Amino acid sequence: MEKKHIFLIGFMGSGKSTIAHCLYKKYGLLQLDMDKYIENEEGRKISSIFEQEGEAYFRGLETEFLKKLDQKEMFVISCGGGVPMNERNVQEMKKKGIIVLLHANPATIYQRVKNSHHRPLLEGNMTEEYIGKLMEQRSSVYDQVADVIVKTDNRSAEEISAEILEKTKIQGE
Ligand code: S3P
């Protein structure tokens, strides 16, 4: 029988990888990080892919990942923040699982990402204002495509993970 994945979507720094890891540690759900998978396949970092090939090439890799994804085992998949902006990706995620949006305010996001330097879209744009603007461009799409929305501001990974399981009706170990 084909299994349904959980796709964690949301802005950079919304906690997708952290929550996927918590769902693995606490409930034994298998974790798959889309950016890490792409980096392994390509043998280089996301920032090098952007620099050497451009953003469009990277977006193509995201779509390829989703198209290739089989459903033999269920995974919690932390998606890159731009994934839902492509309709093709949304179709693929809807077909293969449940889309869970992790929501956080720009101020929270800024605090979480301000000291990291692996996100090409934020390099040179590391301000709360820029984050707010980019989030504005994306949030209506995020909201529309999500099957489940979970707020993450000022909440622990454990609380958020428990709410995801409750809302998706998926049972961990
Ligand atoms: C991106 C988000 C990043 C990564 C790339 C582009 C985006 O992933 O895929 O830098 O367009 O929002 P995270 O959301 O895991 O930071």
For residue 12, which atom of ligand 1 is closest to its CA? 14
97-103/148-151 β-pairing: parallel
Question: How are the residues of the chain apportioned to helix, strand and coil, as percentages rounded to the nearest 5?
Answer: 55, 15, 30
The answer to whether residue 173 scores a pLDDT higher than 80 is no
Q: Which residues contact 69 (CB under 8 A, 6 or more apart)?
A: 5, 77, 92, 96
For residue 85, which atom of ligand 1 is closest to its CA? 11
For residue 169, name the pLDDT band (cuts at 50, 70, 90): confident
Nearest CA-CA partner of 173 in 72, 74, 71, 102: 74
Mean pLDDT of all residues belonging to the chain: 96
Please give the Cα distance from 22 to 119 (Å, whole number): 22
Cα 40 to averaged position of ligand 1 atoms, centre (Å): 16
Q: Please give the pLDDT value at position 9.
A: 98
The answer to whether residue 172 scores a pLDDT higher than 80 is no
Q: Please give the pLDDT value at position 40.
A: 98
DSSP string, 68-127: H---SS-EEEEPPTTGGGSHHHHHHHHHHEEEEEEE--HHHHHHHHTT----TTTTT--S
Name the closest-CA residue to atom 9, ligand 1: 80
Over range 40-45, report the average pLDDT.
98
Q: Please give the pLDDT value at position 171.
A: 76
Over range 69-93, report the average pLDDT.
97
Q: Please give the pLDDT value at position 1.
A: 85
For residue 38, which atom of ligand 1 is closest to its CA? 9
pLDDT tens digits, residue range 60-78? 999 999 999 999 999 999 9
